[in-house]
Structure 1
Amino acid sequence: MAGIAQEQATNRLLRSLPEEAFGLIAPDLKACDLPAGRPLVEADKPIEHIYFIESGLASMVAVSSDGNSIEVGQIGYEGISGYPVLLGTDRTPNRAFMEVAGRGLELSTSRFLSLQAHPEAHLVFLRYIHTRELQLAQSALAAARYSMHKRLARWLLMCHDRLILDDMPLTHDFLALMLGVRRSGVTEHLHILEGMHAIRSTRGSVRILNRRILLEVAGASYGAPEAEYERLIGSELLGDERPSKLRGAGWFS
């Protein structure tokens, strides 16, 4: 998709770039399908491409030497994979892969890093890294201080924010893996949320019935990174001009 127009992009970082900066990379952006399970960043391997997520959901996962893993971040249409390259490193021990299939715009790392010469664009990405660090910090806080009930509600809200779908293709096994708990625990708490009429959980799918109930359950465990993203980055996608497919998305709606 060489020569993509900025208003055609769904990715909020691309839409937030100054027009001049976007023009520098537009000819090199390559549209691609991102099927579930596709790796975006491999552990300890050079990050050769950056992916601007247009739809779907990616997970960043920390993996220990003995094989234990847990999700440390989510990426949707608000973000990119491979951002550690902005910190002067070409690789990371963490992995990133597509959790829910979608589409994206691929850009070589070298072309992406050329944007550092554009101060306003560079600032956008530095602010994005700040929101990523805050998301990680809030995940650690939630794991240490909040109940499984609240953590599950928080995680579902974060998925809902990024997928812009009420029917989310999430399995109990995957929820357990991402939250670092047993499958039986996830199933039990999904049933509790069902009893509150917040969700409906079926095989391989979680449907959001009432987001407000999830917000009440999650309480203070959810919202700080989302608010910081809107404060620092924001975009016209929040206004009336955003594409119809994005209206009604999360982010405090």
Structure 2
Amino acid sequence: MTMIAQSQIKNRLLRRFPEDAFELLAPLLEPVDLPMKRLLVRPRMPIEHVYFLESGVASMVAESADGKRAEIRHIGREGIAGYPVVLGVDRTPNSIFMQVAGYGLQVATPEFVPILEHAEVRQLLLRYVHTCELQLAHSALAAAKFTMHQRLARWLLMCHDRIGGNDLPLTHELLALMLGVRRAGVTNELHILEGMHAIKSTRGNVRILDRNMLIEIAGGCYGVPEQEYERLIETSAQPPIPPVHLNDKSPSQHSLNGRP
């Protein structure tokens, strides 16, 4: 089996792995096609694999006790599907499925977990989990404080961030799931954005015509999690934070940022 070179990786997290950690992980990575609607994480079932997406977009979906469903976040080549295992969690009530077909690199969970013992990998992935929490928080903020077409603009920008090119293969059904509204409502909101010349919507596809216009339409509900990802993952060269031991008799010697 030919090992994958880190220089050939498109996943932004894997590209940030320390070289020695990537060399340990590389023989365990298995390339997989990820067709549309493929389930990556099944609700309340053991997370058998972690997926580093190389292309395409996956959706994390929450479901209520009475069967109501809504997408709560996106996962693309900036992240991983199955990240609860980073926190020591073996399953989740949420599901993850491929919204836009692509491909990725999968690794069996039992083989992946030992990699977390590498301090730099653990810190990198915990920072990624922090950006996931921010995305969830801003989804809640958008739902509570922003209009429907602002929320749609935000979701389209998030998809655009994760897909190469300006054509987003999104159906009205998926857009309705993303926004938690009826399909008829999605059609109306797409017409609004088309009237602003930000997009062109056809059957099963949304073409981005003016990204800057979409950013303007989305207003404050887009950008904060994305900026935090760039700060912590893409541009960060910060050293690992040293652990604080419970029996340390001089806790005042440690500041919150880990510096003495």
TM-score, reference length from structure 2? 0.89
Deviation at residue 235 of structure 1 after TM alignment: 6.1
Deviation at residue 13 of structure 1 after TM alignment: 0.5
Q: Secondary structure at the match of 2:81?
A: coil
2: CA distance between counterparts of 1:2 and 1:51? 19
Q: For residue 55 of structure 1, what is the amino acid of its counterpart?
A: S
Partner of 1:101: 101
Aligned length: 236
Partner of 2:166: 166
2: CA distance between counterparts of 1:60 and 1:79? 12
Deviation at residue 165 of structure 1 after TM alignment: 2.3
Q: Which runs of 4+ in 1 moved over 6 A?
A: none
2: CA distance between counterparts of 1:183 and 1:37? 18
Partner of 2:154: 154
Contact 1:57–1:102 (8 Å) recurs in 2: yes
Q: Secondary structure at the match of 1:3?
A: coil
Partner of 1:115: 115
Partner of 1:140: 140
Contact 2:33–2:104 (8 Å) recurs in 1: yes
- Distance of aligned partners of 1:2 and 1:123 in 2 relative to their CA distance in 1, 3 Å threshold: farther
Partner of 2:10: 10
1: CA distance between counterparts of 2:37 and 2:165? 19
Partner of 1:228: 228
2: CA distance between counterparts of 1:174 and 1:76? 16
2: CA distance between counterparts of 1:112 and 1:86? 9
TM-score, reference length from structure 1? 0.91
Q: For residue 140 of structure 1, what is the amino acid of its counterpart?
A: A
User: Percent of counterpart pairs with the same letter?
Assistant: 63
| 1:191 equivalent in alignment to 2:167 | no
CA RMSD of aligned residues (A): 1.2
Partner of 1:215: 215
Q: Secondary structure at the match of 1:31?
A: strand
Deviation at residue 183 of structure 1 after TM alignment: 1.3
Partner of 1:178: 178
Deviation at residue 89 of structure 1 after TM alignment: 1.3
Partner of 1:77: 77
Contact 1:12–1:235 (8 Å) recurs in 2: no
Partner of 1:51: 51
Contact 1:11–1:79 (8 Å) recurs in 2: yes
1: CA distance between counterparts of 2:78 and 2:203? 28
2: CA distance between counterparts of 1:70 and 1:204? 19
Deviation at residue 116 of structure 1 after TM alignment: 1.5
Q: For residue 76 of structure 2, what is the amino acid of its counterpart?
A: G
2: CA distance between counterparts of 1:146 and 1:216? 13
1: CA distance between counterparts of 2:176 and 2:188? 11
1: CA distance between counterparts of 2:210 and 2:131? 26
1: CA distance between counterparts of 2:138 and 2:33? 31
| 1:28 equivalent in alignment to 2:28 | yes
Q: For residue 53 of structure 1, what is the amino acid of its counterpart?
A: L
Contact 2:172–2:186 (8 Å) recurs in 1: yes
1: CA distance between counterparts of 2:212 and 2:222? 12
Partner of 1:125: 125
1: CA distance between counterparts of 2:67 and 2:228? 33
Partner of 1:248: none
The CA deviation string for residues 24-69 of structure 1, in whole angstroms up to 9 with x for no partner, is: 1101100010000100000000001000000000000001121100
